[in-house]
Structure 1
Amino acid sequence: MTDGQTAQLEAERAAAGIIPGVIWSTIALQDAEPHVPFAKRVVRPLRGSPLRNLQGWLEILRLSRRFDYVLVRQMPVDIFAPIFAPFVRNRVAVHHAKEVEEHTLISDGPIRRLAAWLDRRLMRVSVRNAVASLAVTWDMAEYERDTYDPQQPISVYPNLVGDDAIRALPDRRDPAQISAVFMCTTFTDWNGLDRLVDAVRKDPDHASRLQVHLVGRLSEAQKTEIAEDPLLAQVFKIHGYLERDIYRVLLEQVHVGIGSLALDRQNMVEGSSLKTAELLGNGIPVYATHRYPTVPDDFPFFRNAPHVEIADLIDYALDTGRISRQDIVAASAPYIRKCNGMLSAADFLRSLSHRN
């Protein structure tokens, strides 16, 4: 599991005890040796193979007899779905991406196209045999419903944070220079680093006042483009992967966090990245070009810009910089608490019981 996936499940497990009237259990399967109590290791013969989903389905079958509903994150290229999905009538499909479309966005080629073709057919079987679908955004949930089962009930279960992650960081911002952080596990097309680079080149005067910290994995082409352009090399500081404690020290210095800038490349208008909830929970406003599913459209600490402009980014950082981090946390907390997302999901599941 990634650090973000682990953090999500740890927050879910911690909040489970305060959700009234619900017994909520969390289980994860992984190839690596588990280091969290809710994780189980895939048996040796199945590790690193598409056959590992067999163990997942056997676990789902077992849990389906113990619980009213089993929420299952969609498994890519799941060759066992046609075999097992029809026999688990209380499974809720959970989507964290437009899974099939991601095949062509991550890379192209005959193997990837074949995987997308196969996954589309397997996904149809899996989703149509689920009692409902949850997704991290509304437009993703609507896409899955409209693509695979127009009659299926849908709702959202966004990426949110536990109460222990909601606290203002110390404020060590430098008033002489606007500092932003752009963090991604890997800078893919839908993160939109290229759009930020283009915006910097279009407005070098404002860009000279800006420092953007890039945290995560950049391609060699992205690194070279930044290194060989004096303006880009001045604006962007490449950190690569940072340990959590070092990353938090960096966050103490920034005025604003940058969310995804090109979700339209996935035909999406909403995003629900964990980093957005984490930034707001630390008292850092977020600048992006998409909606966030749990905050109002006029929420002052999440800026959904129509497109990337450096002057707009700087103005937003200056405007929100007048607000204390404690006040930003207090305003953001109701929209980013994991337990609130779980309460909403539980209400949705209760509504399914009334339908049946």
Structure 2
Amino acid sequence: MKVLHAVNMKHVSSGILNQMTWELESAKKLNLDWNVVFYVQEYNEKNSSKIVKYWDGNSRLNWVKFRQDYYTWLLEQSAFFDILVLRHSLSDPYQVAFLKKIKKPVYLVHHTLEIQEILSNNGIKSNIKAWVEKYFGRLSLEQVQGLVGVTNEIFNYENRRVNSKFKQKIIYPNGICYDNKILIDSRKNKIPELIFVASFFSSWHGVDLLLNALENTSEEFILHIVGRLNPKDEQQAKKDQRIVLHGHLSQLEIERLMSSMWLGLSSFALFRQNMKEACTLKVREYLKNGLPVYSGYKDVFCNSFPYYRIGEPNFDNILEYARKMRYESKEEISNLSKQYIDKEILLKNLYLTLAQNHNFTSTKF
């Protein structure tokens, strides 16, 4: 069974590029006929990944020509594949036209609650874009073989847009590639050390809620914040000596820092995106590096999984969990997390589901 997973966007997103690169690496390890292409409009020499296909047209033109060329290319490519897996293209009438033409099975992958996310930005332009997505997004869903959500919440949301058409729930969370690297445990400080990582702390990260909660505790701890804060949050963070602001760090520097941490923190204000569930890359990086997680939202982990705690941005609760996890083995945390976050395992499950749906029995496992 040959599968093409394709994404089209104006710019290369580093997070999406990482996910797709790891997916291709996992497919090779599993010996799957699974190809990955990131089709983008604007060229950036820094993005030299082999999976990125740059549009041959004039980037100054509007996105209409770009989308038309993408779907023309996709239709040509479909002759070489049995199934297409496409990241849903937001507010895109050309996606509907393509889906009506193609004869191969197509699965749409959804990563967010599209209409709610669009409307979170106020304005006439957002209202128009939301209307286009509401209409053409539903038409796209009516044309495809199946729906893939990165969380249960997203799958259920998209399924309601077509009156629960898709009875089979296919969940394909974000994942991370495991390696054979030995984890170093540098937890020597007797004071709890916590880490919160983001490239830029948006409102849905809720770092402001965490900073406000500092006023309610006099306990000793060190909170390491890695990434860029908005000016208001940065000024507030600098007032508390228990916070260390690192700014931007390389991946290697972050991993070294995590080796001495007791606990990783994730977002506390996903409600600002009208969401209750997510599967962020940072949580997967924490767990892979043997760091338990305290977060404000539901992820893919079962309730009995001990290394992911859901709670409010309350330091009494955070520190209680950090102390409980203090002597847990980093290797054990990483190993027990693997079944939920390893890209190879997640891709294998998705591939088997697609193969079973279309009677491809000659799988390689």
Alignment TM-score, normalising by the size of structure 1? 0.88
User: In the TM superposition, what are the counterparts of 1:289-308 in structure 2 within 5 Å?
Assistant: 289-293=296-300, 295-305=301-311, 307-308=312-313
User: Letter of the aligned partner of 2:33 in structure 1?
Assistant: I
Summarize the Cα distance change of 1:143–1:349 in structure 2 as closer, same or farther, 3 Å threshold: same
- Asked if structure 1 preserves the Cα contact closer than 8 Å seen for 2:93 and 2:136, the reply is yes
Residues in 2 aligned to 1:236 and 1:103: alpha-carbon distance in whole angstroms: 34
Summarize the Cα distance change of 1:132–1:161 in structure 2 as closer, same or farther, 3 Å threshold: same
User: Counterpart of 1:170 in 2: which secondary structure?
Assistant: coil
Summarize the Cα distance change of 1:122–1:217 in structure 2 as closer, same or farther, 3 Å threshold: farther
Q: Is 1:282 equivalent to 2:289 in the alignment?
A: yes
Residues in 1 aligned to 2:202 and 2:21: alpha-carbon distance in whole angstroms: 26
Structure 1 segments (4+ residues) deviating >6 Å: none
User: Counterpart of 2:246 in 1: which secondary structure?
Assistant: strand
Residues in 2 aligned to 1:253 and 1:225: alpha-carbon distance in whole angstroms: 25
User: Letter of the aligned partner of 1:81 in structure 2?
Assistant: Q
What's the offset of the Cα at 1:160?
Answer: 0.7
Cα RMSD over matched residues? 2.3
Q: Which moved more, 1:344-353 or 1:309-318?
A: 344-353
- Asked if structure 2 preserves the Cα contact closer than 8 Å seen for 1:19 and 1:342, the reply is no
Matching residue of 2:243: 236
User: Counterpart of 2:336 in 1: which secondary structure?
Assistant: helix
Unaligned segments of structure 1, at least 5 residues: none
Residues in 2 aligned to 1:68 and 1:318: alpha-carbon distance in whole angstroms: 51
- Asked if structure 1 preserves the Cα contact closer than 8 Å seen for 2:287 and 2:334, the reply is yes
Matching residue of 2:172: 157
What's the offset of the Cα at 1:354?
Answer: 5.4
Matching residue of 2:119: 104
User: Counterpart of 1:332 in 2: which secondary structure?
Assistant: helix
Residues in 2 aligned to 1:126 and 1:308: alpha-carbon distance in whole angstroms: 39
Residues in 2 aligned to 1:283 and 1:271: alpha-carbon distance in whole angstroms: 20
Residues in 2 aligned to 1:219 and 1:49: alpha-carbon distance in whole angstroms: 32
User: Letter of the aligned partner of 2:303 in structure 1?
Assistant: D
Which of 47, 50, 53 is equivalent to 1:37?
Answer: 50
Unaligned segments of structure 2, at least 5 residues: 1-11, 361-365
Residues in 1 aligned to 2:74 and 2:184: alpha-carbon distance in whole angstroms: 44
User: Letter of the aligned partner of 2:337 in structure 1?
Assistant: S
- Asked if structure 1 preserves the Cα contact closer than 8 Å seen for 2:96 and 2:143, the reply is no
Q: Is 1:189 equivalent to 2:200 in the alignment?
A: no
User: Counterpart of 1:212 in 2: which secondary structure?
Assistant: strand
Q: Which moved more, 1:282-291 or 1:31-40?
A: 31-40
Summarize the Cα distance change of 1:325–1:117 in structure 2 as closer, same or farther, 3 Å threshold: same
What's the offset of the Cα at 1:302?
Answer: 0.9
- Asked if structure 2 preserves the Cα contact closer than 8 Å seen for 1:167 and 1:282, the reply is no
Q: Which moved more, 1:142-151 or 1:40-49?
A: 40-49
Which of 342, 350, 356 is equivalent to 2:347?
Answer: 342
Summarize the Cα distance change of 1:245–1:65 in structure 2 as closer, same or farther, 3 Å threshold: same
Q: Which moved more, 1:343-352 or 1:40-49?
A: 40-49
What's the offset of the Cα at 1:44?
Answer: 4.0
User: Letter of the aligned partner of 2:106 in structure 1?
Assistant: R
What's the offset of the Cα at 1:48?
Answer: 8.1
Residues in 1 aligned to 2:277 and 2:314: alpha-carbon distance in whole angstroms: 19
Which of 25, 28, 33 is equivalent to 2:35?
Answer: 25
Matching residue of 1:171: 185
Q: Which moved more, 1:34-43 or 1:310-319?
A: 34-43
Alignment TM-score, normalising by the size of structure 2? 0.86
- Asked if structure 1 preserves the Cα contact closer than 8 Å seen for 2:255 and 2:289, the reply is no
What's the offset of the Cα at 1:320?
Answer: 1.0
Q: What's the CA shift string for 1:1-30, capped at 9, x where partnerless? A: 33322221121111112436x411111123
What's the offset of the Cα at 1:154?
Answer: 3.4
Q: Is 1:16 equivalent to 2:27 in the alignment?
A: yes
- Asked if structure 2 preserves the Cα contact closer than 8 Å seen for 1:191 and 1:263, the reply is yes
- Asked if structure 2 preserves the Cα contact closer than 8 Å seen for 1:63 and 1:70, the reply is no
Identity %: 24
User: Letter of the aligned partner of 2:56 in structure 1?
Assistant: V
